[in-house]
Amino acid sequence: MKIKQALIASCIFLILLLSFYYVHIKFFRVNVVFYSAIFDGVLAALVATGVLLKTRYFNRLNLFEKMQMTAIWILVGYAFAISVPTVIDRSLSFYILEKLQQRGGGIQLSRFDDVFTKEYVKEHRLVDVRLTEQQASGTIVIRGNCVKLTGYGQRLATFSRFFRKNFLPKQRLLMGEYTDALTDPFRESDNQLDYECK
């Protein structure tokens, strides 16, 4: 009986999660897709927990089991946020599939650089989206014509570079060969550029 009650409560949570997400994206302003989807997941978990605590039908579940379900729901909400809307919104892999479909199912391999530099960045307003996300995350500030790291952004970039160099695969398959190129993508960067601001 407890399993049935837990499954019913979880179905209520899932219905709430999808409903809140749909209403949020259709009728409200969204600054960052990932953050808004997480908010929807937490809200759905809290409302479902309220139903769980206030409805007599779920009395067979003790308080510990109810709190455990709440924790699981929050994790499910997080997994949903990062695995569905955020991945589809940000994924270069999905973009490639959609672009191949748009172009009749195939694109010449030698033209993919053009697809990314001339179409992807423009069509997905990639620079605008990423700068908006970084501002909302508190990692950058924009002053006039200058984008600057905040202290938090500096720490995050340091961690990211450390992790990339030490904990990403040294033998990663890229277009038929194994390489460590992505553990240090700046290895061959041009340092003679004039776009820095102080």
Same-domain pairing of 83 and 24: yes
Model pLDDT, residue 32: 87
The pLDDT of residue 31: 87
pLDDT in tens, 98-144: 999 998 999 999 999 999 888 988 998 989 999 999 999 999 999 99
For residue 160, pLDDT over 80 is answered with yes
Q: Residues of the chain with pLDDT > 70: what percent?
A: 99
The pTM score is 0.76
In a domain, 121, yes or no: no
**Cα–Cα dist 60/6, whole Å:** 10
3-class DSSP state of 31: coil
Does residue 128 belong to any structural domain of this protein?
no
Number of domains in the chain: 2
The residue range of the domain holding 177 is 138-184
Last residue of a domain, one of 89, 107, 122: 89
Mean pLDDT of 7-15: 95
Dihedral sign for Cα atoms in the order 90, 92, 97, 103 = positive
Secondary element (H or E) of residue 143:
strand 140-143
- What is the percentage of the chain residues whose pLDDT exceeds 90? 64
Is the pLDDT reported for residue 197 higher than 90? Answer: no
Q: What pLDDT sits at residue 40?
A: 97
Q: Which two tokens stand for residue 78?
A: 């997080």
Please check whether residues 76 and 19 belong to one and the same domain. yes
Domain boundary, last residue among 48, 73, 89: 89
Please tell me whether residues 9 and 71 are part of one structural domain. Answer: yes
The answer to the question of residue 167 being in a domain is yes
Is the pLDDT at 50 greater than 90? The verdict is yes
Residues composing the chain: 198
Is residue 193 included in any domain, yes or no? no
pLDDT digits (tens, 9 = 90+) for 56-69: 998 899 999 999 99
Give domain status of residue 113, yes or no: no
Q: Say whether both 77 and 17 belong to one domain.
A: yes
- In this structure, the answer to whether residues 77 and 7 fall within a common structural domain is yes
Is residue 160 included in any domain, yes or no?
A: yes
Computed over every residue of the chain, the mean pLDDT equals 91
Q: Is residue 148 domain-resident?
A: yes
- Write down which residue in 89, 120, 147 finishes a domain: 89
